A = this chain, B = another copy of it.
Amino acid sequence: MARKTQEKREDLKQRLIEAARNRIAADGLSNLRARDVTQDVGCALGGLYTVFADLDDLVIHVNSATLKGLEASLALAEVKDHTPTDRLRNLARGYLRFAVAHRNLWKALFDHRPPDNRPSPEWHLEEHMFLMGVIAEPLAELQPTMSETARAIRARTLFGAVHGVVSISLEGRFVGLPIESLEQELDDFILTVAAGAAARQV
């Protein structure tokens, strides 16, 4: 019996994540309401709180699924034998394409702020760090003498830079790039950064 209850809980949890994911994808994180999500899966409002601490906890699970989708979009296995520069280009292109294809889910990764008294759990922060590791790895080949700590920081810088170019353009804020030239320009930007990293290594 205990196993059956556990299975039911897990099933409800997955259905709520899926419903929240669909709601965020369609209407954006700021329009997410617990009542809509529970109605979508056909459970009582209170049902959500038997499997998640609160709506923020549910959003973290959606963001976790989004990060897994992003990872798949980066096509890491396909380019593993390429040059480090080409692997960085591939990362930037995969990131841009994922952001374009899943705009609202991608925005939710950045727009969600967990409440101050309950920061994001460790397992979720480790999912963020996985992405940084994926960037640090080709950097290590471009600048082999850099310390591991410095490289981890450099990976965050490069992520922030690519994210900045993508987000300021997609969101149409301030003076972003025209969308038509975004992929080409981002690619050229990575080529410049990689050439700079190699040149400074010498």
Interface residues of A (CB under 8 A from B): 109-110, 113, 128-129, 131-132, 153-154, 156-169, 173-178, 181, 185-186, 188-189, 191-200
State the main secondary structure of chain A at its contact with B. helix
Q: Which residues from B are CB-within-8-Å of A199?
A: 195-196, 198-199
Taken together as a complex, chains A and B put the C-alpha atoms of A24 and B8 apart, in Å, by 49
Taken together as a complex, chains A and B put the C-alpha atoms of A85 and B196 apart, in Å, by 12
Copies of this chain, how many? 2
B164 touches A177 (CB 8 A): no
Q: A113, A157, A158, A159 — which one has the most chain B CB atoms within 10 A of its CB?
A: A157
Please give 5 more A-B residue pairs, beta carbons under 8 A apart, in addition to A154-B185, A164-B167, A192-B200. Answer: A154-B188, A160-B176, A161-B189, A163-B174, A195-B196
B164 touches A160 (CB 8 A): yes
Knowing A160-B164, A164-B163, A169-B160 are in contact, say whether A110-B174 is a contact too (CB < 8 A). Answer: yes
Taking the closest CB of chain B, its distance from the CB of A112, in whole angstroms, is: 9
B189 touches A197 (CB 8 A): no
Q: Which residues from B are CB-within-8-Å of A161?
A: 160-162, 164-165, 189
